[in-house]
Amino acid sequence: MNSMKGPAIFLAQFAGHQTPFDSLAGMAKWAGDLGYKGIQVPTNDAGIFDLELAASSQDYCDEVAGLCRQGGVEITELSTHLQGQLVAVHPAYDELFDNFAPAALHGNPKARTEWAVNQMTLAAKASQRLGLKAHATFSGALLWHLVYPWPQRPAGLVEQGFKELANRWLPILDAFDEAGVDVCYEIHPGEDLHDGATFERFLAAVNQHPRANILFDPSHFVLQQLDYLDFIDRYHDRIKMFHVKDAEFNPTGRAGVYGGYEDWVDRPGRFRSLGDGQVDFKSIFSKLTQYGFDGWAVLEWECCLKDSAQGAAEGAPFIASHMINRAQHAFDDFAGAVSSEARNRRILGLE
């Protein structure tokens, strides 16, 4: 049986204008030197990874893969979190989410959505050329402003919202199916797919599409006060990606899950570097191993206290220490004996 792979690191929070974070080759070597074996690559900056070129050029994809190997890592998955977000945006968020699209599309929601859908189809082709089997993204949201039922939601509103979300994603899911790649939605507050119930609604709306799968990140479950271990039990067959990210939730009489509009460092729920929060990673790695998860364990760093350099350096050995080599035989095999139907019948007292 295949085992989980890792450690790997998501590059989105590290990419910047300073060496080595201003190029994919530089970050690949940086990650490899820290002990990572894989990198998850964002696709919103052509200076780091040219998504349009990757979708059309096998030579470019081979060159990129070679640069990563020279750095000691391989590409685990591509990410279109920002582009996926723009597949579905409620008008209340237009001003904020315009920043995720090219400047020429700002103020034009229809063109922005068309661009985002095209970006997703390019990502399917690029993933196929790179030989990848899973892709990370967000679902976007038409209903997030209605997450708390006040005023009362009109009958049929939620169903209609998920029907529209499915209509937008079905052609994308089909494109990924043609490419042989799973679409892994990060279950995340702010998205219409933010917990198990909403993921089930989406699955029903897309007719249980086989490419509609999950990027599991326990930190978002801590902040919502959801049972992330029970989630694995329920949805393990759809979990195809894993972000290893820590978090803590310390509510007071002043603020709780909603956070009181405080900055991250002052919120009751906040992300932490690995080992500094409340996530039970031993149990998570055990459950994922139990269910045969064979994807990558990918660090996502978003700590509000610890510097990114320290978080990245500590992340590789933390993940490596939690990796489990799946047992190849039962511990009591030594006490076994040759079995046969006749012997089993004698043991059962049927002879």
| Angle (nearest 5°) at CA 85 between 185 and 124 | 60
In this structure, what CATH number is given to the domain that contains residue 180?
3.20.20.150
Q: What pLDDT is stored for residue 296 in this prediction?
A: 98
For 61-76, the DSSP string reads HHHHHHHHHHTT-EEE
User: pLDDT (tens digit, 9 = 90+) per residue, 91-121?
Assistant: 999 999 999 999 999 999 999 999 999 999 9
Average pLDDT over residues 44-61: 98
Average pLDDT over residues 154-183: 98
Q: What pLDDT is stored for residue 340 in this prediction?
A: 92
Find the domain containing 296 and state its range.
5-347
Residue 328 is given by DSSP the state S
Strands of 250-295 (E only): list them: 269-272
Question: How many percent of the chain have pLDDT more than 90?
Answer: 94
User: pLDDT (tens digit, 9 = 90+) per residue, 65-76?
Assistant: 999 999 999 999
User: pLDDT (tens digit, 9 = 90+) per residue, 282-341?
Assistant: 999 999 999 999 999 999 999 999 999 999 999 999 999 999 988 888 877 777 888 899
Q: What pLDDT is stored for residue 91 in this prediction?
A: 98
Question: How many percent of the chain have pLDDT more than 70?
Answer: 99
User: pLDDT (tens digit, 9 = 90+) per residue, 213-260?
Assistant: 999 999 999 999 999 999 999 999 999 999 999 999 999 999 999 999
Q: What pLDDT is stored for residue 103 in this prediction?
A: 97
Give the count of domains, the chain: 1
Question: From CA 339, how far away is CA 8, in angstroms rounded?
Answer: 43
Q: What pLDDT is stored for residue 2 in this prediction?
A: 65
Q: What pLDDT is stored for residue 350 in this prediction?
A: 93
> H or E segment at 243?
strand 239-244
Q: What pLDDT is stored for residue 331 in this prediction?
A: 78
Q: What pLDDT is stored for residue 336 in this prediction?
A: 82
> H or E segment at 5?
strand 5-10
Question: Quick check: 140 pLDDT over 70?
Answer: yes
Question: Quick check: 202 pLDDT over 60?
Answer: yes
Q: What pLDDT is stored for residue 332 in this prediction?
A: 76
Structural contact between residues 194 and 187, judged by C-beta atoms closer than 8 angstroms:
yes
Question: From CA 304, how far away is CA 289, in angstroms rounded?
Answer: 30
In the structure, what pLDDT confidence band is assigned to residue 1 with cuts at 50, 70 and 90?
low
